[in-house]
Each structure stands twice: as C-alpha cells, then as structure tokens.
Structure 1
C-alpha cells in the first residue's frame, strides 16, 4: 500500500495504519435524505449558499468560455429569478441550458429567444 506521505510502500500489520497527517474526508449532500444523528455528531457541517448572479456568470465563463457567458444574460437572469421563486435548480442545469442554447443557435441559426424559451419551458415542467 502507498501513502500520500511519499512513494514508499508500507505494510499494514494487525489492521493498524499510522500516518503523518490526519485524513480529511469530504461528503456532499443535496439535503434529500436525513443522516443518522450519531453520524452527524462526528461531522463538521459546512453549508454553502447558492451562487449569486455574478458568481453564476463567472462559473459559466470558466466552464464554457467568454462567448457563451456574454450571450447568456437573459437565460442566467431567468435562472436566478426561478431560484428566488423557490425552484430548486442546480448550477449544472444552467450550464447545460447555456451550452445547448448556444450550440442550437450556432448550428441552426435560430433566434436566441426562441431556443431559450424551449429550454426554459422544459425546466418549468421538470420543476413544477
């Protein structure tokens, strides 16, 4: 077995492993199910707020590029508004909508608003 401490191989004897650093395990949850109280007592919870409109724009730019971010304003605003109205939308849904809208317009030459409306119509029915 190798360790993060270095390339040296170590043997495990009697089921005991010794290490130079305390291991940290990160678990994520979307809150859809409850964890047992005994488990939660051993955890350090960190609640991350949903990204702001500015942060979402930065995420779109970082993941999809400047051109897609520049053309995603209306779609991004509708996404933020729907979140404020209580719809549980994940950031990856926004990224998918921006990407598909951009590619549909690029490939088919259709109007941005028409493609965006089709995408948001699907999101409306998926979350209502």
Structure 2
C-alpha cells in the first residue's frame, strides 16, 4: 500500500472520529480513538513510536515520540489546539527526517470541519 493510499484511509478514519466526538477534547482522546479505528480497518499502527536522534554518530534517546505511525510509512502528528502553527509543522518535518519517512499528516481535531485542520507534509528525502 502506498503512502498516499494509507493517508487517504487515515483521513477517512480521522473524519469519522471527529464526526463522532466533535472538537474540544484532549489530544490523547483523539489519539486513542484514531488508533482503534485504524486497527479496526486492518492497518498496522504503532502508538507513541520512539524516535532517536543521531548526532555526530551518537544515538540519543531524547524522548521524541511519533503519535501514530501507520504501516511503518506514514507519520501522524495529532493536535487539539486553537490553530496550527509553524512549530507544529516543524515538529512533524523533524519526525519525518529523523525516521526517514516520506509522508506525514498533521491533524488538528480542535476545528469545526476537520478538513480545515489537516496538513499533508512531504519529506523530500
């Protein structure tokens, strides 16, 4: 399954979760529900995937964690904030680079219409 096909399924599941719960809840609530929904769809999903930082040949465990990693290909960074900022984009880009992943989805559930809270981020490897 390609990154784009995975992203399409993730977005569909995220929309279902948002329709059921609406905005205004904690990020962890959306994470749990989306994790459940993606697993139910038959996708391989890892929650809170640790991602090390390599600096000058030294691997550092700095506590970075990807919210959801789907099919070991697509990084999902979840938020429940008033608005997405450049810092949120930078965080997702960093995870893509550190893990050598091509595609990430930054999803903010704290919006009235979820499609306005989704950012697709491509790592140009």
Task: Give the TM-score of the pair, scaled to structure 2.
Answer: 0.26
Q: Which structure is higher in RCO with an 8 Å CA cutoff and minimum separation 6?
A: 2
Greater share of helix residues, 1 or 2? 1
When Rg is computed on C-alpha atoms for both structures, the one with the higher figure is 1
Greater share of strand residues, 1 or 2? 2
